[in-house]
Amino acid sequence: MEIAPELIDRIVAHARRDFPNECCGMIAVRDGRAVSVHEAENLAASPLRFEVDGLEVHRTIEEIEDAGGELGAIYHSHTRSDPLPSQTDINLAFYPEALYVIVGVKGPEDDVRAFTIVDGQVSEAVLEVGS
C-alpha cells in the first residue's frame, strides 16, 4: 500500500494523542493508494488492547465504500511494546484482505509497520510512504 506522509502523520498524531492508551482506526484505499484515515474510538480505553464498536466499523466501511474506496488497512498503536502483531492482534484479525498497521509509540521515535494476517499467519508488508 502506498500512503502519503501526511496520512502517516495523522495516524502517528492519533497514537500520540491517545497515549497511554492504544488508538485505533481504518485506512481507506483506492487503487492500492491510501486516500483517507478514519479514526475510531477505543472502547477498551486501555494501554494493552483496543476494541471498536461493530456498528462503528460497519458505518465506517460503508462511508469508505460510498466514497469509492475500500478498506485497505486497520491501524492501532502499541504503547508498551514493539509494533509487531500480538497474539491478540492475530486472533482478532477478521479482515484478511486488509493490512494491519501498527504504530509503536513506546519510545521517542515513532515506528510504523504493516502486516498481513491471514489464517493466523503473519507476514510483514510493504508500506510505501510517498507523495
| pLDDT of the residue at 107 | 85
The torsion angles phi and psi of 19, rounded to 5 degrees, stand at -55, 135
Angle at 98 between CA 74 and CA 84, to 5 degrees: 60
pLDDT one-digit tens code per residue, 87-119: 999 999 999 999 999 999 998 889 999 999 999
Q: What is the pLDDT of residue 130?
A: 85
Residue type, 2: E
Q: Is the pLDDT of residue 41 over 80?
A: yes
H-helix or E-strand spanning residue 7: helix 5-18
- Element holding 8 (H helix, E strand): helix 5-18
Q: Which domain holds residue 63?
A: 2-129
Write the pLDDT tens digit of every residue in 53-93. Answer: 999 999 999 999 999 999 999 999 999 999 999 999 999 99
- What's the pLDDT score for residue 47? 95
Retrieve residue 50's grid coordinates: 483496543
Instruction: Compute the distance between CA of residue 85 and CA of residue 130 in angstroms, rounded to an integer.
Output: 24
Q: Residue 37's pLDDT is what?
A: 98
What does the alpha-carbon distance between residue 90 and residue 106 come to, in Å, rounded to a whole number? 20
CA-CA-CA-CA torsion sign (7, 12, 16, 21): positive
User: What domain count does the chain have?
Assistant: 1
What average pLDDT does this structure show over 123-127? 95
- Reported residue count of the chain is 131
The CATH number for 82's domain is 3.40.140.10
Q: How confident is the model at residue 48 (pLDDT cuts 50, 70, 90)?
A: very high
- Whether 131 shows a pLDDT value over 80: the answer reads no
